[in-house]
Structure 1
Amino acid sequence: MADALRVGIAGLGTVGASLVRIIQTRANELAVTCGRPIEIAAVTARDRTRDRGIDISAVTWFDSAEELAANAEIDVFVELMGGAEGAAADSVRAALRRGLHVVTANKALLAASGVELARIAEENGALLNFEAAVAGGIPVIKALRESLTGNTISRVYGIMNGTCNYILTRMEKEGLSFADCLKEAQRLGYAEADPAFDIEGNDTAHKLAILTTLAFGTQIAPDEIYLEGITNISIDDIHAAADLGYRIKLLGVAQRTETGIEQRVHPTMVPRDSVIAQVDGVTNAVAIESDILGELLMVGPGAGGNATASSVLGDIADIAKSRPGAQQVPVLGIPAASLTPYKRAQMQSHEGGYFIRLTVADRTGVFASIAARMAENAISLESIVQRSKPDSSAMSKTIILVTHATMENSVRKAVDAIKAESYLVGEPQVIRIERPKDM
C-alpha cells in the first residue's frame, strides 16, 4: 500500500471536528477505498483548549493557519476557517505556492479570488478542490467540472441557502411571520446571530458565481449578479402565492443568452407541482440544463457538519487516489488562462411574468390608474385581483397583479410610477414567476 496521505486542517469548528471524527473512525475503510491511508498530521484553530469531542493529542498543533501552510509536513492543506481575506486567503496561497494540494469549503474566498488561486495551483502542479463550497453535500462541483464534460450547459439554477429555504418553508406551513421564523432559525443554529449574509442573498450569490464559471467557462464575476434577498417577503405574499398555485423560493439562476451570461438571485414563485417546489427546510437543490443530458436535478443537505465534511472528505479522497504525473482536472473546469471575460447579458423579457402586490387606499379610480401605468409601460396583465382582509376597516385594500412575459425594467418603471401616486399605502412587492416550461 502507498504511503499515507498527510493532511493538515486549519479550522476545527463544526465541519472541521466532523471531518477529524470521520477520518479517525473510518480509517480502515478509507485506506482500502483510496489505496493508501489518510492521516491527520497537523491542525490549527483559534482555541487549543476547547473540547471538540475529538482526540487530537497525537496531532501536531500549529498556532496559525499561515504557519501550518508554510511549515507542516503535509501533502494536503484543508482550509475550513472561512472569509474572503486574511488568514484563510494567505494560508491557501502559501500552501499552493509550496505545491501542496488544497481542499476548501470557502465560497467567499473562491468568489473573490478563485481565478487567481486556480492560476497559482496550476503553476505549481497542485490540486484545488472545493466541492463543499457550494450546496454542502451535493456533488455539483464534480458534476460540472468532470461528469458533464462534452455537454453544452444552458442554465444552472437552484436553492442554495438552507437558512432562507427553512424560513420560507416555516412561513408557509405554519403561518409564521418572517421575523418569528428567523428567530427560530437562529435558535436552531440554522442562521447566524447576524443573518444578513444569508437572508440578503449574498451567500447564494457567491455560490452562483462559482457555478457560473464552471458551467460557462467565464471568469468569476460575483459583482455582476442581480441580488435580492427575502427580507421583504411577507406572510401575505406566501398566502397569495399559494392561492395562485405557487410556492416562494429564493433561487440563484445563471443562464447563457445570445448577449452574454445572466446571473440573478431573488425570491421566485415556482409552480406548486414542480419538483423544486417540494424542496423544504434546510435542504438544497441544484438543477443543470444541458444539450446532451437534458436536465439534471440534485437534491440533498446543503449545510451542517456531517454534510459539509462528507464533501471535504470526498475531495481529500480524490487527491489520495490521484497519482503523480497523472493528468489533473483544471481547477475551474478549464485552465485559468482559458477562462473568457465575463459578459453580462442585456436585459431580456422574462417569460414567466411577474407577481405584483400593491396595498392602496380604497377609493374610486385606483384600478384604472394602476391599469394605465401598466399600459404606459407596455405590460400586459394576465390577471388583476382585489383582496381584502375579513377584519379590514375598509380604509385600504390589496391588489394582486400577474403579468404576462415582460421586461424587468418595464415592471420597475410602472411600479415607480404607481409609487408616485397618492393612493399607494406602504411599499409594493414584486416577485418573478417561473412557469413549468421555464423550470
Structure 2
Amino acid sequence: MPAIAIIGAQWGDEGKGKATDLLGSKVDYVVKFNGGNNAGHTVVIGEEKYALHLLPSGILTPGCTPVIGNGVVVDLAVLFHEIDGLEARGVDTSTLKVSANAHVIADYNRSLDKVTERFLGSRRIGTTGRGIGPTYADKMNRIGIRVQDLFDENILRQKVEGALELKNQILTKVYNRRAVTVDATVEELLAFADRLAPMVCDTSLLLGEALDRGDVVLLEAGQATLLDVDHGTYPFVTSSSATAGGACTGSGIPPTRLSQVIAIVKAYTTRVGEGPFPTELFDDAGEHLRSVGAEYGTTTGRPRRCGWYDAVIARYAARINGVTDFVLTKLDVLSGLEQIPVCVAYDVDGVRHDEMPANQSDFHHAKPIFEYLPGWTEDISGARTFEDLPANARAYVERVEELSGARMSVIGVGPSRAATIVRHALI
C-alpha cells in the first residue's frame, strides 16, 4: 500500500487538520513531516474542539499511530504540554512515535528568534518567535541538537557548548542580551529525556515496514506550499519544506512509494505574517471573511489577512506538488455574498500572467484579474451531497475546479467532522 501526502495549497490555515482527521479512520499512521509548533490544526469532533500545534492530527483517531518525523523541529516543553492536555481530556497518546533524528528547539533558538525579528523592524519576516527558523539554521549549519542526543549527556553538552560559542557572542554583543549558560540549556533538555525515551525510534524504518505490510501511511504537512522555503514567496516563508517533496525527506519514505497528493485549499485565501498577497482585501469584504470564517491563528491568535480565491496559486500548488485531489474547505463562509470574485490571472505592469511570476518583484506588484461568479444566500452547512448545494454554489465549485488544475474531491461546509461533502473518495 503506497503513502499519501496531505499538503496546504495556499499560505496555510486551509483546514489540513480536518482533512487529515477525515481520513484518519482509514489510515494506520499519520506522520507530521515538517515544521514545529509554529502552526496549528483545529479539529472539531462532535462538540469537542481540539487545537493541535506539534502533534499529528491522527493522535485523535483510535487505532492510528501518530508519528513526528525527522523533518520536524521539536519544542519538548510544548510537546508534553500538548500530550498532558489531551490526556486530561481522555485522549490516549501512548502510541506516539518520535524520530530519533528530529531536531530539538533549545532555549537559545527561541531567544534569537525573538530578538532578530525585533531588530529587523519593518523588514521582519513575521515569524512566530518560537525558535523554528534558528533551529533549522542550526540543522543546516550542522550544529543542531537531535532527539537522540538527549540520551548521551556528553554529546549533548559538547553540542550545546559548540553552538553557544557563537550564539552568546551574538546575543550579548549584537543584541545586548544576557548570555545563555551551557548548564541551563543542558539541564532543561535532559529533564525531558526519561519521559521521551519510550517514544523515540527509527521512524523511517517503522514507516517502511508499515508500508511493506500493506498499512496506509498519511503524511501531514505543516504550513503550506506558498510558505515552502524553496517554492514559497521567499523570504516570507517558513524554514522547512512544506510540499510533497518535503514529505519524503521529512519522513524517510522514498518518492516511489507516494501515490496520492491531496491538497487543501480554502474557498477564499488567507495569510498570516508578512509578504505579498495579490487578492488581499482591506475593506468590509475582508473583515466579513475574517469574522464569518473565524480567521485567527490556531497557534498565535493573530488575525489572518483575507482575500478572494486565487486560482493562480492553486494551479501553482497543483504543479509543484503533483496534486491528485483538492479538498475545498470553508465554502459555507461565502454564503450570503451577492457576488464572489475569483482571481484567474495577474496583471503585472500591463502584462497578463496566467501562471506564478518567476520574479519575486513581479509577484509583489501583481494585481488580480477577477472573474465574478454569482453568490448564494442559502445556509449550506447541512449539505451532505453535492446535489444538496444551491445551483450557484455548485457552479462556484465547478469553476474553481476548472481553474485550479485538479479535481475538487471533498468540500467542507462547516467546521465539524460531519460537515463534509465527498464527491470522489480519497482512499
Superposition TM-score, scaled by structure 2 size: 0.32
Which entry has the higher C-alpha Rg, 1 or 2?
1
Superposition TM-score, scaled by structure 1 size: 0.31
Select the structure with the greater relative contact order (CA < 8 A; seq sep ≥ 6): 2
